[in-house]
Amino acid sequence: VARKGACMEIIRNKEIMGQATILQLQQNKRDTDEVSQGNECGMFADAAVAIQENDVCQIYSEEKIKQTL
């Protein structure tokens, strides 16, 4: 599942080229907050490297958990 605000790694030739955050998602030319696996979408991300054809975008989310004693 791709979600707005999720983190993404850009992988090219089995090497991590950079990281980004998904700022905007579109499905069927409409803005959306989430796109499920297997569906096409367009995305705008704040990547430091340009995404090229055949790159793999691995999307993940980070969770911060406060430790309790």
Best CA proximity match to 35, nearest among 45, 24, 46: 24
What global pTM score does this model have?
A: 0.79
2-3 and 42-45 beta bridge pairing? unpaired
Cβ-contact 19, 58 below 8 angstroms: no
User: Is residue 62 exposed (0-12), middle (13-18) or buried (19+ Cβ within 10 Å)?
Assistant: exposed
Percent with pLDDT over 70 in the chain: 100
Average pLDDT for the chain: 93
Percent with pLDDT over 90 in the chain: 81
pLDDT digits 0-9 by tens, 4-27: 999 999 999 999 999 999 999 999
DSSP string covering 15-34: EEEEEEEEEEEEETTEEESE
